[in-house]
Amino acid sequence: MGIESWPVIRQLTGTDPLGRGRAARSGRTDALVPRTRTADRVADSVCPYCAVGCGQKVYVKDEKVVQIEGDPNSPISRGRLCPKGSASKQLVTSPTRQTTVLYRRPYATEWEPLGLDEAMDMIADRVIAARRAGWQDAFEDKPVRRTMGFASLGGATLDNEENYLIKKLWTALGAIQIENQARI
């Protein structure tokens, strides 16, 4: 490229003597495009923080979330997101996000790795055993057919469909201590 493309020359000879406009742009600047434009796909979503329910657009490129923006079509949020909603890409892509199973033995001082399948099998065994251990056919002479052996807490951050399966399975197992943040 010739010397005439240098910013200082363009600043001195062009229409931008203060170097605050066109003269400050480089070829690289001109070539930049928003991540939202180069994404492979975009999914319509909803902000996961508070219960206002702001619309989100989730941009994915090369199977990674590259941007999350407010959805201007939402009649609730009209494209806006608060500081938390605006940070939700970090919620998904956080480098400290724990993405593998960890296991802590009784009395251990450290975590150890564990396979997901094995963990699921171990949890299934423990749920069945705790259910049995805490089983009550009757309480103060009245039939209850329930277990007090295990309890579950959580649901307010989850989907309706997830809450539905939690309540359905636990209730069928006879568990009653099923709770979530709505009690808090």
Is 149 strand, coil or helix?
coil
Count CB-CB contacts under 10 A for residue 123: 10
Q: Pick between residue 8 and residue 138 the one whose CB is nearest to another protein.
A: 138
Per CB under 8 A, the segment of 2-10, 13-21, 28-36, 86-94 that binds another protein is 86-94
User: Residue 96 interacts with another protein (CB under 8 A)?
Assistant: yes
Q: Pick between residue 7 and residue 86 the one whose CB is nearest to another protein.
A: 86
Q: Pick between residue 5 and residue 171 the one whose CB is nearest to another protein.
A: 171
Q: Pick between residue 5 and residue 90 the one whose CB is nearest to another protein.
A: 90
User: Residue 112 interacts with another protein (CB under 8 A)?
Assistant: no
User: Residue 38 interacts with another protein (CB under 8 A)?
Assistant: no
Cα of 87 vs its chain's centroid, Å:
11
Q: Are 10 and 23 in contact (CB under 8 A)?
A: yes
Q: How far is Cα 54 from Cα 47, in angstroms, rounded to an integer?
A: 5
Count CB-CB contacts under 10 A for residue 175: 22
User: Residue 50 interacts with another protein (CB under 8 A)?
Assistant: yes
User: Residue 36 interacts with another protein (CB under 8 A)?
Assistant: no
Q: Kindly report the length of the chain.
A: 184
Please work out the total of residues on this chain that contact another protein, with binding judged by CB under 8 A. 121
158-177 mask for another protein (x: CB under 8 A)? xxxxxxxxxxxx-xxxxxxx
Is residue 147 within a helix (H) or strand (E), and if so which, with residue range? strand 142-147
